[in-house]
Structure 1
Amino acid sequence: MATRTFVALPAAGARALELLGQGLSVARTAAALRDETGEELDIADFVGDLAALGFVARIGDQPVPDAEPPPASLPWLRPHHVRHALHPALPMLVASLVLAALLVLIRRPDLLPGYHDLLWSPHGSLVLLTGAAAGWTLLFAHELAHLVTARAAGVPGRIRLGTRLQFLVMQTDISGIELAPRRHRLTSYLAGIALNLSVASALVLTLACTDTGTTAHRLAAAGLLIALMPLPFQLMVFTRTDLYFVLQDLTGCRNLYGDGLAYACHRYRRALRPHRAVTAPAPAPAASSTDPPDEQSTGPSADPSTGLPPHERRAVRLYSVILVTGTVACLAFMAAVTLPADVTLLVRAARGLGPGHGLARNADAAAVLVTLGGVNVLWLVTRWRDRTSRGPTATN
């Protein structure tokens, strides 16, 4: 927890860590494991890996320098301040609120919002400003829900901007939640969705209590749409959304995205050379005779999912299909729709600037350049930061 870095170790690695923690030297640890397992393990290399992760305080009398972990968001918020966030009754309260809203909508389907509810005012600037303010406020509250529930479980947590394919997102790093009980993990993963649903349900009840046509009713309808719009994005598990972490936890996978990507790359490489013979060594005694020959290979064409337990292997291979299909669809939509539209708007805005145009035209062009151009620049900066400093897995 002190380094904000977490790894999964095999049984021999966990035993080596235990022996080293007891004060045994590298040589004595290797000898003890040789006696226990009958295998010669490279403990010196293992210690080198541990030191690179920041898990080693000193080697002999020589301290090992360690980088400072990233600071936690809202460090003044202590676990005992928010311990009620993990109370078993809280999910029941959220479910009751959502059920009440659904019953209201069944009795009054006219309260279901449409796109026109976003245009609650005839003044476009007012609609945009209030929509942006409400959207960012809800987005921060969504991430704060992740942070609060993780902090209640003793995990520091950190909120920051990130990217998912072409999307700019706000995400919360709750690395360390893996050490908590499953109920606490799932609560932390689903806290953001639960907050959006709670806000949307409360607004449905507000709509039922206000007169149609009033400002309060129009604002509640617009807020309802803003609260619901991020939820379909959560289904895009190939971008590691909140539901991705739920899926990873329920399938018992340690790194569903990384293993799925590795398997997809393996299948892609094999598809590029379908006629090249694959050389595979003789199967090891422990290998299953039902495994395909290519899965028993240890060469460059070896299936990276072979070493996973059977339940993980099945989940990883299925997820790799979702990963490839979803990524291709998202990037194709960006190339065919989003990118041309953005470029067109930016070009029009650039042409609309200058002394030859009126004040209104210049103001409109400047607003487009600042908002749309600013978002794209922020995406590029965030993407560059993430590529140069890979951090622990985050939820968004």
Structure 2
Amino acid sequence: MSRVRLHELAARPDGTEWIVGRPATGTFVAVPEAGKRALDLLGEGLSTGEAARRLEEETGHDLDVADFVDALVELGFVAEVDGRAVPLPDPPKPTLPRIRPAHVRWTLSPLLPVLIVLLIVTALIARPEGVALSYRTLLWSEHGSLVLAFGAASGWALLLLHELAHLVTARATGVPARMRLGTRLQFLVMQTDISGIELAPGRHRMTAYLAGIGVNLAAASAAALAAGAAEGTARRMLAALTVLALLPLPFQLMVFMRTDLYFVLQDLTRCRDLYGDGRAYARYAARRLLARPGADPSRTLPAHERRAVRLYSVVLVLGTALCLAFLAAVTLPADIALLTRAARTLTARDRSLGARLDAAAVLITLGGIHVLWARTWWRRRRERRRG
């Protein structure tokens, strides 16, 4: 019989089960009522044998608490066993650790989304002059370098604000949250890991998922209203900023790449792992088409999850196929052509200094993006293998 000391855990009811996890690491699991009761008894200082006897008295079933504790150790939920520390790697360091939950608790106020909606409605009603949702609005200057520089600076600023919104709303619930580069198919993205938000109440989860989209809509609305009050170059730049703030939003509809709206969908369908289960079912369906059937992985899921997973698997396959087809037909040929042309310009003897500088900029910028994507993809792949 062993006695264990658990790390600080959080829990919330979820239907007939409990979601239990360790906020510091973002690790969480679903356990039945008996599992939650076992955690409570172990947390009170009872040994595994004492907890098993108490559970048998309360439920009438003989439960193997020792095996349950072994699973908790693997999850990193156990700090000590019989006074001996359980060796575990340090939890990942959060981004911007000086931001404490108390500093950003206001982001969870129900008044904040109301204010954002009022700002959006005001911009729609005002319909500021000179703000058109067109590519021409982005060409606010006759100097292409200024247009590109403004677009790059504004795009990165909006991206950081978008991810910071996820971070601070998650931090307000006690989730550490970490910002980092990631990949989604052929796309290099900035993403915020808010693992552990599943332990928060429903309204707080939705706030964290939708915070980035809210920031983009608020920024677009504020820029549009400011453009309506400005003139000349300032108006054109603010109008361009409005379009730049709205440009990332269609990407959020690509739920097969686990965008912000994917997590909203997963939460609303009450699925544990919509992407993972959908991918497993898609593989099973592919094996059936090849006359190599196996066990249907969705059969072990509750009925509501099974329906959602099967429908999502169709979206996952079609969306992924379309993205990769676009990559093969458009993006890669264009990138290869640009890189080849730049390399030829640099190696040619009769090219001007301006042409060579332009070619070098293409190689550094476009080549750098591809190298960064490959490096990020490889790092994430290595981390998944370790996990």
Aligned: 1:309 with 2:331? no
What SS does the corresponding residue of 2:192 show, helix, strand or coil? strand
The answer on whether the counterparts of 2:170 and 2:177 sit within 8 Å (CA) in structure 1 is yes
Find the residue that maps to 2:346 and give its secondary structure: coil
Structure-1-length-normalised TM-score: 0.86
For the residue of structure 2 that corresponds to 1:24, the secondary structure is coil
Letter in 2 for 1:231: L
What's the offset of the Cα at 1:242? 0.5
Counterpart of 1:114? 134
Residue in 1 that maps onto 2:105: 83
Q: Which residue of 1 aligns with 2:291?
A: 273
In the other structure, the counterpart of 1:171 is 191
Contact 1:54–1:67 (CA under 8 A) maintained in structure 2: no
1:62 to 64, 76, 84: 84
Residues 200 and 224, structure 1, Cα contact 8 Å, conserved in 2: yes
Partner Cα distance (2:183, 2:91) in 1: 21
Q: Distance in 1 between matches of 2:229 and 2:379?
A: 47
| Residue 235 of structure 1: how far off its partner (Å) | 0.3
Offset of residue 36 of structure 1? 5.3
Q: What corresponds to 1:102 in structure 2? A: 124
Among 196, 201, 224, the alignment partner of 1:204 is 224
Tell me which residue corresponds to 1:348.
341
Amino acid at match of 2:299: T
Among 150, 161, 171, the residue aligned to 1:141: 161
Give, in angstroms, the shift of residue 29 of structure 1.
4.1
Q: Cα deviation per residue 1:91-148 (whole Å; 9 max; x = unaligned)?
A: 111001111111123x85x632311222222222222122111100100000011111
After superposition, residues 179-258 of structure 1 pair within 5 angstroms as 179-211=199-231, 214-258=232-276
Shift of 1:318: 1.1
The corresponding residue for 1:360 is 354
SS at match of 1:353: helix
Find the aligned partners of 1:48 and 1:350 in 2 and give their Cα distance: 58
What SS does the aligned partner of 1:204 have?
helix
Aligned twin of 2:94: 72
Aligned 8 A contact 1:4 1:69 in 2: no
Judged with a 3 Å threshold, the aligned counterparts in structure 2 of structure 1 residues 302 and 32 are, in CA distance, closer, same or farther, namely farther
Report how far residue 256 of structure 1 moved. 1.1
Q: CA deviation at 1:85?
A: 1.0
Q: Distance in 2 between matches of 1:118 and 1:5?
A: 43
- 1:263–1:317 CA contact under 8 A, matched in 2: yes
Deviation at 1:45, TM superposition (A): 3.7
Q: 1:69 Cα shift?
A: 0.9
Deviation at 1:60, TM superposition (A): 1.9
SS state at 2:30 partner = coil
- 1:285 alignment partner in structure 2: none
* Alignment match, 2:13: none
CA drift of 1:345 comes to 1.0
CA deviations on 1:348-375 (whole Å, 9 max, x unpaired) are 1111113612111111111111111111
Number of equivalences: 362
Which runs of 5 or more structure 2 residues have no equivalent in the other structure? 1-22
State the secondary structure of the residue aligned to 1:93. Answer: helix
CA distance in 2, matches of 1:133, 1:171: 18
Separation (CA, whole Å) in 2 of partners of 1:367 and 1:10: 58
The equivalent residue for 2:175 is: 155
**Matched AA of 1:255:** D
Q: Distance in 2 between matches of 1:46 and 1:263?
A: 28
* Identical counterparts, % of pairs: 62
CA distance in 2, matches of 1:141, 1:113: 22
C-alpha separation in 2, matches of 1:71 and 1:221: 39
Residue 381 of structure 2 corresponds to residue 378 of structure 1: no
More strand as a share of residues:
2
The code of the aligned residue for 1:264 comes to A
Q: Which residue of 1 aligns with 2:313?
A: 320
Give secondary structure in 1 for the equivalent of 2:182. Answer: strand
- Between the aligned partners of 1:182 and 1:98, the Cα distance in structure 2 is 24
Q: Where in structure 1 are there 5+ consecutive unaligned residues?
A: 277-300, 392-396
Change (3 A) 1:179 1:36: same
AA at the equivalent of 2:209? Y
Please tell me the residue identity of whatever aligns with 1:218: R
**What residue in structure 2 maps to residue 92 of structure 1?**
114
- Equivalent AA in structure 1 for residue 268 of structure 2: L
Check 1:61–1:153 CA distance in 2 against 1; reply closer, same or farther (3 A cut).
closer
> Relative to 1, partners in 2 of residues 1:256 and 1:366: Cα closer, same or farther, differing over 3 Å?
same
